Structure 1
């Protein structure tokens, strides 16, 4: 089978920020690189929140998520890796020569010296609102993500949930909506402390501990009122809304990956400080990994990518440099700098 396939040095599984930055850095290290993404586009979990403002990437001023995805895509393509979309890798087989044959759910095969798993939390699905008949309103004014802010301008918006995204959406919508009400089952909110403080100090009305329990429609097509219930006393309130955003988290599914023999916890693979898994030649990066100093930010994901790729490079060639030269001294960038009109005097 391998005789019919093209051999790659590195195959990255997952096209989110970890996977895209790994593809870029793999090019810096002059490795033949393939990236395989299960969806039909790159971006990973970031695709769920295109209008979310990203503040915490070093050297990047506040940037909308969809713009950061665009920039990461452009950077990932710097050294022209092979990109494969719409294939979910389900199987792997270690060959006698130490290479791997990867198999997709639809039967395609890929041959590689090393594998870097950048799959986040696996296949993601939004947790749906558990109210009978709620799905009928998904085509009108019941939302599980915010693709654009403008449709909510001047609207009375209710957000159900208390995670990072619910807080972010409340803060983003507060300046343009007629009103924003956040309903959460617990007193404590998830997310960054500063964002929570910003939400609570604004005009956003925070109702805790309450749950969204009923949807009401006068025309059968759109929700115009909701009932919320106090989770401890059962006391209920009914009020008018124009739109509802539900953020009850994500359901994660790793599928057959759990059968690979990886050392995994409930949501993450346990890796060494060099981002090595317990499988030879298989490394991991991003939200999929857990280790003692793990930083769960996009910035931390970039560091994971570098560490995993450097480990893959040394696995292939133990005599290689431990890290790549910085871009200002890296021969891979000399011609690219010339194309940009940059004269390198050093």
Structure 2
């Protein structure tokens, strides 16, 4: 039996930082992630620029994820991708974790870091629309250059839709926004940017149907229903941002005892503990008073969860890990980094 000190369910920011910190605390660590890649929902907006990560310059989400993954791999955790946890049982002092692959994992503790759950975009409910997903019907943006000098129709009025519309202003030839309600629900500052650029915003509107090109391979026109009237709009691309379906992600833990709040969130009993001894939570899945829904809050959750997992295994362990500036684990790494920095400095001065 390959027994781990901690198994982290979820490979988003909370799970990745938990893996780094558990390695820092000399814990044998495993990450189980349902998606084929690490990074969680940050991967939905790879080109979005993040400004609110402490001590970091503004950076695109894809670089942020890369840095998180590199950090998580510092202490070489075991990583299982494309793996969904289906059941967790406690046998004595050991958690037995069953997955969709028929595999069994064994762990002394568990950190649940599944974020907002398993997300899938709400699709356009028009018959045959799925065939255009290979051409010009999109549910996310993987690269803005794809829309250079194009006319793009954005359907949706929430933060996701309007954020994308603002990003597209600087590459697309024209952006049109439609929304089924009578008022956009996104942040005012973003809506103001669209208005400042004269973006055509059609409220009380939704997609009625689409008209394909002659080869039937792409959408050429979109028929919009606005207050009962139909309008045709020529487009190059269509971006649908109607939100996400979220699969409840704690079903695997029901057989232990109830650990939910509002049928979804883990209840934190303080310090990211749950009602199940040995199971901890970090990130968006955790609910508690004064919860900070930012990345900085996620990182604190991860530290608290791991520290308490360490204490659960060994009550005599220190409550906190030694800070990096004094931690022997980093001595050799620091030496290598400083030598590399010295070499670069010398080369630049020549």
Flag whether TM exceeds 0.5 (same fold): yes
Q: What is the match of residue 98 of structure 2?
A: 103
Per the alignment, residue 89 of structure 2 pairs with 93
Query: Are 2:139 and 1:149 equivalent residues in the alignment?
Result: no
Structure 2 residue aligned with 1:83: 79
- For normalisation by structure 2, the TM-score amounts to 0.90
Q: What does the per-residue CA deviation read over 1:130-166, in whole Å, with 9 as the maximum and x for residues that have no partner?
A: 1122112111110011111111000000111122221
- Range that drifts further, 24-33 or 10-19: 24-33
Contact preservation (8 Å) 2:87, 2:253 = no
More divergent stretch after superposition (184-193 vs 217-226): 184-193
**SS of corresponding position for 2:338:** coil
Alignment of 1:116-135 (within 5 A): 116-135=111-130
Assess, with a 3 A threshold, how the Cα gap between structure 1 residues 206 and 307 changes in structure 2: closer, same or farther.
Answer: farther
1:11/1:114 contact within 8 Å kept: yes
CA distances 1:218-249 after superposition (whole Å, capped 9, x unpaired): 4222111112223xx32332211110000111
Q: C-alpha offsets along residues 145-188 of structure 1, whole Å, 9 cap, x if unaligned?
A: 11111110000001111222212211111011011111122244
CA apart distance, 1:46: 1.9
- Secondary structure of the corresponding residue to residue 116 of structure 1: strand
Distance 2:183 2:293 in 1: 20
Give the alignment partner of residue 69 of structure 1, picking from 34, 56, 65.
Answer: 65
Using the alignment, how far apart are the partners of 1:313 and 1:124 within structure 2?
31
CA RMSD of aligned residues (A): 1.9
Could you tell me how far 1:216 is from its partner in structure 2? Answer: 1.5
User: Corresponding residue for 1:177?
Assistant: 172
Q: Is the 8 A contact 1:274 1:311 kept in 2?
A: yes
Deviation at 1:72, TM superposition (A): 0.5
Aligned to 1:269: 266
Secondary structure of 1:78's partner? helix
In the other structure, the counterpart of 2:154 is: 159
Other structure's SS at 1:35 match: strand
Q: Secondary structure at the match of 1:315?
A: helix
Q: Output one character per residue of 1:51-93: Cα deviation in whole Å (capped at 9) or x when no partner.
A: 2222221222221111111111100011111112221111111
Q: What does residue 343 of structure 2 align with? A: none
Out of 19, 32, 35, the position equivalent to 2:31 is 35
What SS does the corresponding residue of 1:329 show, helix, strand or coil?
coil
Q: Which residues of 2 match residues 186-265 of structure 1 at below 5 A?
A: 186-219=181-214, 220-230=216-226, 233-254=227-248, 256-257=251-252, 259-260=254-255, 261-264=257-260, 265=262
TM-score by length of 1: 0.91
CA 1:187 to 1:273, structure 2 compared with 1: closer, same or farther past 3 Å?
Answer: farther
- Contact 1:137–1:221, Cα closer than 8 Å, also in 2: yes
Contact 2:88 2:252 in 1 (8 A): no
CA distance in 2, matches of 1:322, 1:342: 33
1:274-293 alignment to 2 at 5 Å? 274-293=271-290
Q: Is the CA contact 2:88–2:253 (under 8 Å) kept in the aligned structure 1?
A: no
Q: Give 1:192 deviation, angstroms.
A: 4.3
Q: Which residue of 2 aligns with 1:332?
A: 329
**Is the CA contact (8 Å cut-off) linking 2:111 and 2:279 kept in structure 1?**
yes
Q: 1:291 to 1:201 in 2, by over 3 A?
A: farther
Q: Which moved more, 1:322-331 or 1:124-133?
A: 322-331
Counterparts of 1:26 and 1:50 in 2: how far apart (Å)?
Answer: 27
Structure 1: 5+ residue stretches without partners: none
1:316 equivalent in alignment to 2:313: yes
Q: Deviations over 1:79-137 (max 9, x none)?
A: 111112221111111121x2211111111111111000111232221110111221121
